[in-house]
Structure 1
Amino acid sequence: MKITVIGHSLEGITTASCLAEIGNKVYLTPMNEDEFQDDLFQHSSMQDGGLYSIFKTQIDETRLRISTRINVEDHNNDLYFVTTIPEDKESLSRLLDLLSSDKRCQGVVFTCSIPVGGLDKAIEKSHIPVAYIPEFIREGTAIEDFRNPHTLTIGCENNQLLKLIKELYKPFIHSHTHLQIMTIKEAEFSRFAISAMLATRVSFMNELANITELLNIDIEAIKRALGSDPRIGEQYLNPGIGFGGRQLASDLLQVTELEDTQADNIGLLNRVMTINERQKESLFRKVWRFFEGDIRGRTFAIWGGAFKPNSSKVNNAPILKLIDSFAFQDAILNIYDPGCSQELNEYIEQQQLGNQVAVCDNPYSALDGADALLIVTEWREFLMPDFDEIKLRLSEPLIFDGRNIYDPQRMKERGYRYFAIGRGERI
């Protein structure tokens, strides 16, 4: 098939690369000409595991080409994929009018996050079939998520377009893939519902962890009990210092806005958001209590900054609140993260905190003379570090673990004071 993918985003680059990989002729274009990026190889999304390699291969083999604008005259596409949401309803209508002028085109597939009912009016006026596939590509695992989806949800009310989409996605539909066919509006809402459920599980576990600290109970034992129940399962049960990232937070905000419109609103999802924002400060509060508020001029080492491992992003990540909180108290921070140094430096420069916050080149140099080590992101390289080296470099053997990656008993045996989320020592 001939396909144009619109949007220079992680979703757009991943979709274009994976569709080209199975033999389609694909064009990748920005939503607007002024958003065109000359060198997509330098795009931050290229740090996503394996994406650079597959993208470059498809370019080299000419199955994937980069276009500076949406060119319906020359491309003559079977399908258009829209992975970046238009600015407003008028822009959406203009986009569909433009794409409908491609006489060969059999439909437009939206995969970007769209408000529930956001496509209704544009579809009514459009002369081209439209479908919606909620995309759950995660930063750090984008290629794997696209190639091996657990669930593929297709919102489509046009049989011919639905048949074409199924044919296109056939290489990605495996025996374990749940294929869900529904209306566009149902597909739009399903995306937000799933994100809201995942966010609720995370905040629920963090609430339980805060309670177990008061009761001197290890949250890991509670987590095992919950995960062993088949009605609950083991996914998204890790307590910590809150979730970040662009997608989950954005989707949850969309649902809370819908929730706010209900007369009998009980505010569950607003509460989920409140819990998560509060949890991002939990590690700072532990440090504050340990030092009895005396942190002015003290130095703290932080391992991790990205909102999740294998990501270069700090969108809505707990590290941002930690930086702001410690800087406000005139503390010094040395941060190491193997993936998001550039975004951390940009944030530090933007906040004018260069005199208080430094981004280090390796984890151990961040420790020199620090009063404590804080674990913020559970990167694999932090799982089995040289604990003797850590102890030598810290001013005292003190760790605050926001991701519960170490065993409290083993840390005690190694001679550390160890504080975590719902386990370890209590303050």
Structure 2
Amino acid sequence: MRVAVVGTGYVGLTTGMSLAECGHDVVCLDIDAAKIVGLQQGVMPFFEAGLADAVVQMSKFGRMRFSAAIPAELERADVVLCAVGTPPLDDGSANLVSVRSVAETFLAHATSSAVLVVKSTVPPGTCDSLDVPRIAHIPEFLRQGTAVADARRPDRIVVGSASDDVRLVMTELMQPFINAGVPMVYTDLRSAETTKYAANAFLATKISFINEIANFCEVIGADVKSVIQAIGFDARIGPAFLRPGVGYGGSCFPKDVQALIAKGKAEGYGFRILPEVHGVNLAQRERYYQKLVALLGGDVAGKRVGIWGIAFKPGTDDIREAPAVYFIERLLEGGASVIAHDPLAHERIRERFPSLMLAASPLEVTQQVDVLVRLTDDPSFPPIPEGLLFVDGRL
């Protein structure tokens, strides 16, 4: 099938790559001409392990192209994937300007038989509001750091549509995955839209829940690691996402929890759990920052603070909503000097803090500081040097 992917971000490129590997003819489109030129030269706009090699290989095989000529490419496409961003507005709701723009361009230039597939994370009811006759929603469940593997072998594929005809087209598009035994969930548009929010909100809830338990264990003198091990053996709970620390960050969990709360409010439903999930997450960063302040005698001014882990998690250069950004801002405002290290995120954090000192290795950090804060559990980090004051933000 001829597939056009509008948006060359994290979701668009990874999805486009996986569909090209399935044998489809894929063109990735973006209004940013400079980004397209870079992609044509094999330059990725972000880091994702294994993605650059896969994209270059698909390009060499002629299955993956890049273009800024969006209208012309839509005219030739059987399927158009919308993979543009939906960043949060001031009230927490999703900004759908880019999604609506893609839909308008699709209606103006795509053939009457083409199907618009919304991959962007959008609030329930969005696809219905776009007034596109042939539309589907296939939410993405990619994890940064393992996105290539996730795209090649997803846990499941959810297809939301309003007609049997569109469902058949989506089945043809996803046939290689079906042949490989990937579970398919066919449902309506609003249920598919809700699925992504529900999944991310649940995972965020697990993180905030275990952080509350960890805080309680600290108060009463219990070992939270033993508690986690014990409850993790329960098949109904499992060990995943039971890792206490400074809380979650990234481009999805904070945004999606807030967007779901905002959508509930707009529909007259007030979520009770989710505002607390969000509140616990924000409080957790401050809790760990105050641990650091206490360790330094109540004042960070003039202190040298080292940070291991700048991105919101290992394996990515994404610093959106990263706890490190919060710590760096607070420390610099308090008069501390900060030196940080991350295997991947130096360029991103330099854009945010141009004068921030960055170390070439984790050990270089420890040799220059009074206290060390670990904010991600990157496997490249060595053991903590003996005698160094230390705050562990990832227990």
Superposed CA deviations along residues 255-304 of structure 1, whole A, max 9, x for unmatched, are 11123346563532111111101112232211111223132111111111
Task: Identify the range of structure 1 (63-72 vs 327-336) with the bigger mean alpha-carbon deviation.
Answer: 63-72
Judge conservation of contact 1:146–1:172 (CA < 8 Å) in 2.
Answer: no
Q: Aligned partners of 1:92 and 1:64: how far apart in 2?
A: 20
Structure-to-structure mapping, 1:82-121, within 5 angstroms: 82-85=82-85, 87=97, 91-100=101-110, 102-103=111-112, 105-121=113-129
- Matched AA of 1:381: S
Is 1:220 the counterpart of 2:228? The answer is no
Judge conservation of contact 2:338–2:357 (CA < 8 Å) in 1.
Answer: yes
Q: Residue 424 of structure 1 corresponds to which residue in structure 2? A: none
Q: Aligned partners of 1:146 and 1:112: how far apart in 2?
A: 15
Q: Residue 398 of structure 1 corresponds to which residue in structure 2? A: 389
Aligned with 1:256 (options 256, 261, 264): 261
Q: Residue 360 of structure 2 corresponds to which residue in structure 1? A: 361
Judge conservation of contact 2:115–2:166 (CA < 8 Å) in 1.
Answer: yes
CA-atom RMSD, angstroms?
A: 2.1
Q: Aligned partners of 1:73 and 1:291: how far apart in 2?
A: 59
Is 1:265 the counterpart of 2:270? The answer is yes
Q: Residue 418 of structure 1 corresponds to which residue in structure 2? A: none
Aligned with 2:194 (options 189, 192, 205): 189
CA pair 116-99 structure 1, distance change in 2 beyond 3 A: farther
Superposed CA deviations along residues 75-112 of structure 1, whole A, max 9, x for unmatched, are 52221111115626763552231244x25x43111110
Q: Aligned partners of 1:378 and 1:33: how far apart in 2?
A: 34
Superposed CA deviations along residues 142-166 of structure 1, whole A, max 9, x for unmatched, are 1111111112111012212212212
Q: Aligned partners of 1:265 and 1:75: how far apart in 2?
A: 43
Q: Aligned partners of 2:316 and 2:98: how far apart in 1?
A: 29
Q: How many residues align?
A: 383
Q: Aligned partners of 2:167 and 2:269: how far apart in 1?
A: 37
Structure-to-structure mapping, 1:269-418, within 5 angstroms: 269-349=274-354, 354=355, 357-382=356-381, 385=382, 387=384, 390-391=385-386, 396-404=387-395
Q: Aligned partners of 2:77 and 2:98: how far apart in 1?
A: 24
Gaps of 5+ in 1: 405-427
Judge conservation of contact 1:309–1:379 (CA < 8 Å) in 2.
Answer: yes
3-state secondary structure, aligned to 1:98: helix
Aligned-pair CA distance for 1:43 = 3.1
Aligned-pair CA distance for 1:330 = 0.6
Q: Which has the larger radius of gyration?
A: 1
Aligned-pair CA distance for 1:72 = 4.0
CA pair 295-106 structure 1, distance change in 2 beyond 3 A: closer
Judge conservation of contact 2:13–2:28 (CA < 8 Å) in 1.
Answer: yes
3-state secondary structure, aligned to 1:289: helix
Q: Aligned partners of 1:190 and 1:112: how far apart in 2?
A: 13
Superposed CA deviations along residues 218-238 of structure 1, whole A, max 9, x for unmatched, are 111111122122221222111
Is 1:162 the counterpart of 2:163? The answer is no
CA pair 265-136 structure 1, distance change in 2 beyond 3 A: same
TM-score, with length taken from structure 2: 0.91
Structure-to-structure mapping, 1:40-79, within 5 angstroms: 40=39, 41-45=42-46, 47-72=47-72, 76-79=76-79
Q: Residue 93 of structure 2 corresponds to which residue in structure 1? A: none
Judge conservation of contact 2:84–2:98 (CA < 8 Å) in 1.
Answer: no
3-state secondary structure, aligned to 1:364: helix
Q: Aligned partners of 1:378 and 1:73: how far apart in 2?
A: 43
3-state secondary structure, aligned to 2:241: coil
Aligned-pair CA distance for 1:191 = 1.0
Instruction: Give the % identical residues.
Output: 27
Q: Aligned partners of 2:13 and 2:98: how far apart in 1?
A: 23
Superposed CA deviations along residues 333-352 of structure 1, whole A, max 9, x for unmatched, are 11010010001111112xxx
TM-score, with length taken from structure 1: 0.84
Gaps of 5+ in 2: 86-95
Superposed CA deviations along residues 163-222 of structure 1, whole A, max 9, x for unmatched, are 221222122247763321110011111111111111111001001111100011111111
Judge conservation of contact 1:5–1:26 (CA < 8 Å) in 2.
Answer: yes
